[in-house]
Amino acid sequence: MSRLSSLLRLDAKLAWEHKLVHVTVVVAAVFGALLRFAVPAEFGPDLGEFGLDIEGLDALAETTAAWASVTVLEPGASKPPVNQLLVAVLYALDLCILGFMFGSVMVLQDKEHGTVRYFRVSPGTGFDYVASKLLVNLGLSLLNFTILTGFAAPLALLEPALWLLIVLVCAGMTLVGMSLSMFLRNIAQWFFPMIVVSTLLALPTYLIVVQTPALAWTWWLPSYHILFGAEAIMFEGAATAPALAALAYAAVFCALTTLTCVPAVRGRLLREAR
Amino acid sequence: MLEVDKLTYTYRGAEAPAVREVSFRIETGQIFGFLGPSGAGKTTVQQVMTRLLELQGGEVRYDQRPLAELGRSFFAEIGVSFEHPNLFPRLTGRENLDAFMGLYPKPHLDPVELMERVGLGDALDKKAEDYSKGMKQRLVFVRALLHRPKYLFFDEPSSGLDPATARVVMAIIREQKQRGATILLTTHDMLVADKLADTIAFLHDGVIAASDTPRALKLMHGERAVRVEHRQNGVLTSETLFLDDDDDREYLASLMANGEIETLHSQEATLDSIFVKLTGKELAA
């Protein structure tokens, strides 16, 4: 326990010194303030000015009515405010990607400074190493979540299921970032994989605008579940099927990434030669 | 006691082993000096012994315990001072020392006292990125000592240090020996090895070329001779006289009796010259 608390203090200090805390606070505050003060709750009745062809959609509905039936699931449902809907989008983009990036950067910095070499000849274990970085990163993610949500949708902070979803997905993304960095030497090598992962994580947000089956596979991505899970928790309730599915996915994702990351750290980063 | 038996290591992709069948033994409380030029395999041996590299061939035993059977707690028994300082550049010297102290069982030595001894007392709260190479080297040296390890590994501990600080570092290494630590010192500085090591091994191209106490090596490979400068008819003359030669001994005695000698130097071999004699290469290469 003393080993873990010692590493925890160290990683927290490094997060502060490398300005990860500052970046988290600024990014969350800027996005939160934008949603709160600059983005309207509704885009107005004339959606056509935002590029949507309403008349075309009506015409399509009339032609398809001949061969397809349309069921309205929740006739009385109101549209969620756009600025609050975008909070869930930012969870997918900002929280997911920052968790991944910070997890990678923490390990790559240890590699570049050679400090991981010193750790290898100390009694510290792979579990200590992963746990301390994970906890610090979770702290940053929750700080980000609190500030962003506090600005844009403060009432959502009262929803425990949302906290749980954020913790599970951010923990999983941190572990993915750490696992990936085991196979890379430095931040220069990491740059291209980072672009690929970030782009992939951003894809489910496209589904908010266009519901296309071509992106159905994005269901496998954690950003999909943080996006639609958060949306479900915030606007439909934590006990609904989409919210529970997202929480279940997040729990499995977190468990799988833990099972992958700890052995990767032991077997690759801290490999003890015997 | 630390035993290394026929240690062999080949780096991936290399055609020849970096070290071949290296064997030596360090008694408890002794300093063993590994002397050799860069690339001789000194650091490779040390890295295998500290489990940074895999033990591919041979055996390493710590107090009769095979390296392969030692658990993670083994790392609490060793202290390693790396040649290339590995520090957190954004943290201060004090924070760097505190960072890993919690990983080791107590009691720890007082870091402030040690830092002051190596001349870093004023730099304790300075960031490591602002340290010079020599300061970083000293910080890494201090870090290796704090948990009072049973086995110490020093890789080029005097590298980049001014003579006065190098003397302090050597004094601290001697103190570690006195408290009972078993020490492996790898260096290409023959003066450091000569002053500190109880036993020395010359490592050349991954093979031990010779191993013994510094005195025994000097006697074995040196000449029992003295170089004398004296005045002969007012002219300064320099001569080498061999102590095993009766005539030279008699001549030397006469020079001493007449008080004609201006300077007198023993011609014992240096570790440097022995290494050149054995391997045909310079130590500092």
Contact A113 B86 (CB under 8 A): yes
Split into its structural domains, chain A has a count of 1
Look at A47-56, A208-217, A224-233, A234-243 and tell me which has the smallest mean pLDDT. A47-56
Taking 80 as the threshold, does the pLDDT of residue A172 lie above it?
yes
Is the pLDDT at B48 greater than 50? The verdict is: yes
| Greater pLDDT, A272 or B250 | B250
Chain B neighbours among A 128-157 (CB < 8 Å)? 128
pLDDT in tens, A127-144: 899 999 999 999 999 999
| Chain A residue numbers touching B72 (CB-CB < 8 A) | 123, 125, 272
Domain membership of residue A62 (yes or no) is yes
Whether residue A272 and residue B51 make contact (CB cut-off 8 A), yes or no, is yes
Residue A73 has pLDDT above 70, yes or no: no
pLDDT at residue A70 greater than cutoff 70 = no
The answer to whether residues A129 and A271 touch, using CB atoms and an 8 Å cutoff, is: no
What is the mean pLDDT of the segment spanning B111-127? 93
Inside any domain, residue A91: yes
Distance CA(A96)–CA(A165), nearest Å, equals 11
pLDDT band at A156 (very low <50, low <70, confident <90, very high): very high
Q: What is the mean pLDDT of residues A11-37?
A: 93
* Chain A interface mutation, best of B9, B12, B75, highest count of A Cβ atoms under 10 Å: B75
Reported for B233-242, long-range contacts at CB under 8 A and 24+ positions apart, including other chains, are B236/B262, B240/B267
CA angle A219–A224–A226, rounded 5-degree value = 135
A118 touches chain B (CB under 8 A): yes
Q: What percent of chain A has pLDDT over 70?
A: 85
Token match 């240690």: residue?
B7
> What pLDDT score does A61 carry?
63
Closest-CA residue of chain B to A110 = B88
Is residue A174 in a domain?
yes
Determine which helix (DSSP H) or strand (DSSP E) holds B250, and give its type and residue range.
Answer: helix B246-258
Q: Is B211 strand, coil or helix?
A: strand
% residues pLDDT > 70 (chain B): 99
Which residues does chain A have within 8 Å of residue B68's beta carbon, measured at their own beta carbons?
274
Flag whether residue B88 sits within 8 Å of chain A, measured between CB atoms.
Answer: yes
CA distance A107 to chain B (A): 13
* A266–B contact, CB cutoff 8 A: no
Q: What is the 3-state secondary structure (H, E, C) of chain A?
A: CHHHHHHHHHHHHHHHHCCHHHHHHHHHHHHHHHHHHHCCCCCCCCHHHHCCCHHHHHHHHHHHCCCCCCCCCCCCCCCCCHHHHHHHHHHHHHHHHHHHHHHHHHHHHHHHHCHHHHHHCCCCCHHHHHHHHHHHHHHHHHHHHHHHHHHHCHHHHHCHHHHHHHHHHHHHHHHHHHHHHCCCCCHHHHHHHHHHHHHHHHHHHHHHHCCCHHHHHHHHCHHHHHHHHHHHHHHCCCCCHHHHHHHHHHHHHHHHHHHHHHHHHHHHHCCCCC
Q: Which residue of B has its CA nearest to A272?
A: B51
State the pLDDT at residue A57. Answer: 61
Q: Do B51 and A9 lie within an 8 Å CB cutoff?
A: no
Examine residue A54 and state whether it is found in any structural domain, yes or no: yes
Q: Do B84 and A274 touch (CB under 8 A)?
A: no
State whether residue B51 sits within 8 Å of chain A by CB: yes
| Residue A162 lies in domain | 2-269
Q: A114 vs B86: CB contact, 8 Å cut-off?
A: yes
**Statement: residue B35 has pLDDT above 90:** no
Tell me the C-alpha distance between A105 and B10, whole Å.
32
* pLDDT at residue number A274: 43
Nearest C-alpha in A relative to B152: A121
User: Per the domain annotation, does A130 fall within a domain?
Assistant: yes
Is residue A1 less than 8 Å (CB to CB) from chain B?
no
pLDDT at A71: 67
Binary contact (B103, A272; C-beta < 8 A): no
Average pLDDT over residues A14-32: 93
Amino acid type, A226: I
Mean pLDDT for B116-124 is 93
CB-CB under 8 Å, A273 with B48: yes
Q: Which residues of A touch B55 (CB under 8 A)?
A: 273-274
Does the ipTM exceed 0.90?
Answer: no
Mean pLDDT, rounded, for B39-50: 90
Query: Do B54 and A274 count as a contact with CB atoms less than 8 A apart?
Result: yes
Q: Is the pLDDT of residue A214 over 90?
A: no
Residue A67: predicted pLDDT: 60
pTM for the full predicted model: 0.82
* Closest CB to A10 among B76, B99, B105: B99
**Rounded Cα distance, B260 and A91, in Å:** 93
| Cβ-defined contact of A5 to B104 (cutoff 8 Å) | no
The confidence band for A187, taking pLDDT boundaries of 50, 70 and 90, is: confident
Q: What is the mean pLDDT of residues B210-232?
A: 85
As given in the structure block, the two tokens for residue B179 are: 């408290």
Interface contact flag, B52 A10, Cβ < 8 Å: no
Chain A interface includes B251 (CB < 8 A) = no
pLDDT, tens digit, 9 for 90 and up, residues A90-126 = 999 888 898 999 999 999 999 888 888 888 899 988 8
Cβ-defined contact of B102 to A121 (cutoff 8 Å): no
Question: Given an 8 Å threshold on Cβ–Cβ distance, is A7 in contact with B102?
Answer: yes
Task: Give A146's pLDDT tier (boundaries 50, 70, 90).
Answer: very high
Residues whose CB is less than 8 angstroms from the CB of residue A139 and which lie 6 or more positions away in sequence, other chains included: A12
How many Å apart are CA B269 and CA B224, to the nearest integer? 9
Interval B188-217 mean pLDDT: 89
Q: Has residue A274 been placed in a domain?
A: no
| pLDDT tens profile A246-258 | 999 999 999 999 9
Evaluate whether residue A171 is within a structural domain. yes
Alpha helix (H) residue ranges in B50-188: 93-101, 111-117, 133-145, 163-178
What's the pLDDT at A45? Answer: 54
A·B CB contacts under 8 A: 81
